[in-house]
Amino acid sequence: MKTVLVIGGGVTGLSAMYELNKWKKENNQDIRLVLAESAEQLGGKIRTVREGGFTIEAGADSIVARKADSMNFIQELGLEEEVVYNAAGRSYIYTEGELKLIPADAVFGIPASVESLAKSTLVSAEGKVEALKDFYTKNDRFTKNDSIGDFLEHFFGKELVEKQIAPVLSGVYSGNLSDLTIASTLPQVFDYKEKYGSIIRGFEENKKVFQSGGGKKFLSFKKGLDALIDAYEERLDETEILKNKQAVKIEKSDHGYIVVFSNGETLEADHIVLSIPHNAAESLFDDKELKAEFEPLKNSSLISIYLAYDIPDSELPEDGTGFITANTAELTCNACTWTSRKWKHTSESGNLLVRLFYKSSHPAFASLKEMNEEEMLQAALADIEKSLGITAEPLASELTKWTEKMPNYLISHPETVATLESRLGREYPGIWLAGCSYYGVGIPDCIKNGAETAGKIIESL
């Protein structure tokens, strides 16, 4: 009997095992399915905490609705009636000591019309004039594998990118724009430049793609995002689920592979899906040459701090759902989401719940990560007082550290992944890479990648 082992019980691993479990049942296959997770609960970067009438997403907080709508996992898992959407609202950038609105007619900070550019309060008149060169400058030097930062600066100039676009895009993709490729971030900017001769005109012509569903751009579930994890787990009725089971080593055997766990137990498998961060996957092998292939992949770190208050969220600026920090010298945080405003289901009473993000790209992060929990909380309260003018003591707080677990897709990323896949295919057939370290960071991307990985295993079986 063949054995398939999935290491990592995040959403990618769950998606892969769900497809394998379904195939086993539908085809009456004599196969052993095992899911091993090092933590005491499944979910990976999806973790919902409930405290004092607040629903707190300590990891990922939502799903991109546009991507989910093109897939069927919500229907398959019976979650249609549980779906909730974000409240529509405007986003701000904190700069020069105040909150300034990101122009409404903008996509990731990129103007989707000349009017949007003209009305921006974030960019000077000179910067706006420079950005108009997008309409008459041709692309004769860039490909999708080039830096998105260099690409945007070439056609928009430095000021618009630094003051309006970079804070948004860097926040979404957790990296310096000069280190990120067009292909791995926003390939539409290249396509629009090629097709329309102008990035702005391209977004103007394709507004509906990014504005479909009105303000309903993201979705979650009434009781929290972990409803997705619970739904997957409930359907793995032909799968052995091992929690608190950390894999520490993979060895070749006569018939496949032997996986050693931290408690000394072993498991022999024919196929292994590594749906864990790349640095955790690399540590399972003694092969120095294979380890070297993992080396170019990079992660960053993130600290998330929630603060819950006994004051109504109407105290916040009207029609807003959060802000991004443009100048790292002004605040310690990179961004702040007004969670209770954006997601009504997260606050039963309608009181204020905010979430601050602290990323390793911030100059203050090195000192912040050395602080104890109380010191970090005080840093968060200082940021809230400075940006929002709130001095009240919070009712509750939730701090989560994601140390070296946030993937950075550098310019070399596609080549690195292809090289890794090639080596594994030659020297470790039956071992499969999966997850956000390699193939996309959003929940729909991870679900799709998990399903595709399962499909490859099913085809080989």
- Per-residue pLDDT reduced to its tens digit, 288-344: 999 999 999 999 899 999 999 999 988 888 889 999 998 778 999 999 999 999 999
> Which class in CATH covers the domain with range 105-211?
mainly alpha
434 vs 446: CA distance, rounded Å: 8
Listed residue (159, 154, 189) closest to 173, CA to CA? 189
142 vs 163: CA distance, rounded Å: 23
**pLDDT value for 212:** 55
**pLDDT value for 213:** 52
- Percent of the chain, pLDDT > 70? 99
At 16-42, the pLDDT tens digits run 999 999 999 999 999 999 999 999 999
The answer to whether residues 34 and 239 touch, using CB atoms and an 8 Å cutoff, is: yes
Examine the pLDDT at 138 and tell me if it is beyond 80.
Answer: yes
What letter would DSSP give residue 89?
-
What are the structure tokens assigned to 348, written together? Answer: 């039963």
CA distances 167 to 100, 146, 217, 270, Å, are 13, 20, 19, 45
Examine the pLDDT at 355 and tell me if it is beyond 80.
Answer: yes
**pLDDT value for 385:** 96
Listed residue (257, 218, 219) closest to 7, CA to CA? 257
Minimum mean pLDDT range among 206-215, 217-226, 275-284:
206-215
CATH fold group of domain 48-88+299-408? Polyamine Oxidase; Chain A, domain 2 (3.90.660)
Q: Which residues, at least 6 apart from 133, have a Cβ–Cβ distance to it below 8 Å? A: 155, 156, 157
Instruction: Note the CATH number of domain 2-42+224-296+410-460.
Output: 3.50.50.60
- The domain spans of the chain are 2-42+224-296+410-460, 48-88+299-408, 105-211
Predicted TM-score (pTM) of the model is 0.89
**pLDDT value for 211:** 63
Rounded average pLDDT over 246-255? 96
Domains 48-88+299-408 and 105-211 share a fold: no
67 vs 46: CA distance, rounded Å: 18
What are the structure tokens assigned to 95, written together? Answer: 């700069």
β 431-433/271-274 pair status: parallel
Number of neighbouring beta carbons within 10 Å of residue 124: 12
Rounded average pLDDT over 411-424? 93
What are the structure tokens assigned to 352, written together? Answer: 């204020």
What are the structure tokens assigned to 18, written together? Answer: 């769900």
At 362-410, the pLDDT tens digits run 899 999 999 999 999 999 999 999 999 999 999 999 999 999 888 888 8
Examine the pLDDT at 358 and tell me if it is beyond 90.
Answer: yes
Examine the pLDDT at 361 and tell me if it is beyond 60.
Answer: yes
138 vs 203: CA distance, rounded Å: 17
Average pLDDT, the chain: 94
**pLDDT value for 410:** 83
Listed residue (445, 2, 35, 18) closest to 273, CA to CA? 35
At 45-97, the pLDDT tens digits run 999 999 999 999 999 999 999 899 989 999 999 999 999 999 988 899 999 99
Rounded average pLDDT over 198-216? 81
